[in-house]
């Protein structure tokens, strides 16, 4: 449950706890990436992810959260988010799959998502995945102390505008810490000029997570109450990291996979 309208920056000691949880999650995503191949079921990916989390002394924070039945949200093609893994849902060549997950380690939550192609995929899907990733970095670069929350939203939206993509409006990013979802709510779409949101402070920990569609931004929920799909059946992509606002400069991206590119485009950040 979110603490309403309260955003409390983390202390240096608390950020160390967040870093440990988030580093583990980055490693988990690297492991999940290895599993994404034609012929594997989404149920098998979920089982492997949960096993990895438990084996490393952590807990999956998605499982049983408001009744969600799995540890890894696995969404395929036109499923935007919150897809429920199934033993009989087999990934096929040409699919794209979004893996969204988090864990709790020593009381600290982490949350991150990636979208991957399964084998060879359509060029439009490749472009969608890459531009969604880039839009995260555009938004994250605006998460600077002294700036405003909706600078993040507007930067994400501006990055995606040239591609003519749909930006999902029904789902947003969020704060994170001792709870999976904390204040503030972070839209990915452009906000009105007079709405700037809160002023950002060093130590705030946020999940920036563009959810982007190839065409319409409109979505619907399936009868399972969880799986969110695009209304027109076009594919969607999702890229998310937990970040920490710094006193100076760009934020620290806490959930990068080992060796994954950061703002420099060539190497991960220094801790």
> Would you give the DSSP letter of residue 199?
B
| Of 194, 91, 178, 186, residue with least CA distance to 142 | 186
- The pTM of this model reads 0.94
Query: Do the beta carbons of residue 48 and residue 35 sit within 8 Å?
Result: yes
Beta bridge partners of 96: 117
pLDDT in tens, 165-176: 999 999 999 999
pLDDT in tens, 4-43: 558 999 999 999 999 999 999 999 999 999 999 999 999 9
Listed by start position, the domains of the chain span 12-253
Topology annotation, domain 12-253: Creatine Amidinohydrolase (3.90.230)
pLDDT in tens, 186-222: 999 999 988 999 999 999 999 999 999 999 999 999 9
Bridge-based pairing of strands 108-117 and 72-76 is: unpaired
| Of 252, 258, 218, 250, residue with least CA distance to 234 | 218
């Amino acid at each position: 449950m979110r603490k309403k309208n309260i955003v409390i920056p983390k202390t240096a000691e608390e950020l160390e706890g967040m870093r440990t949880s988030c580093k583990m999650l980055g490693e988990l995503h690297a492991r999940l990436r290895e599993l994404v191949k034609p012929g594997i079921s989404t149920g098998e990916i979920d089982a492997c992810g949960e096993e990895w989390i438990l084996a490393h002394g952590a807990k999956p924070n998605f499982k049983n959260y408001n009744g969600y039945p799995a540890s890894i949200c696995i969404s395929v093609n036109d499923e935007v988010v919150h897809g429920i893994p199934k033993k009989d849902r087999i990934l096929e060549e040409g699919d794209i799959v979004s893996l969204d997950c988090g864990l709790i380690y020593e009381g600290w939550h982490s949350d991150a998502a990636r979208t991957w192609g399964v084998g060879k995929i359509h060029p439009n899907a490749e472009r969608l995945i890459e531009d969604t990733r880039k839009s995260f970095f555009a938004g994250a670069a605006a998460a600077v102390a002294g700036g405003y929350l909706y600078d993040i939203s507007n930067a994400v939206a501006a990055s995606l505008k040239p591609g003519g993509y749909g930006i999902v409006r029904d789902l947003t990013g969020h704060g994170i810490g001792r709870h999976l979802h904390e204040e503030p709510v972070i839209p990915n779409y452009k906000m009105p000029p007079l709405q700037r949101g809160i002023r950002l402070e060093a130590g705030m920990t946020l999940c920036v997570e563009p959810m982007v569609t190839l065409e319409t931004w409109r979505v619907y929920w399936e009868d399972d109450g969880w799986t969110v799909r695009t209304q027109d059946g076009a594919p969607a992509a999702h890229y998310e990291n937990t970040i920490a606002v710094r006193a100076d400069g760009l934020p620290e991206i806490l959930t990068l996979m080992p060796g994954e590119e950061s703002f420099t485009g060539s190497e991960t950040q220094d801790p």
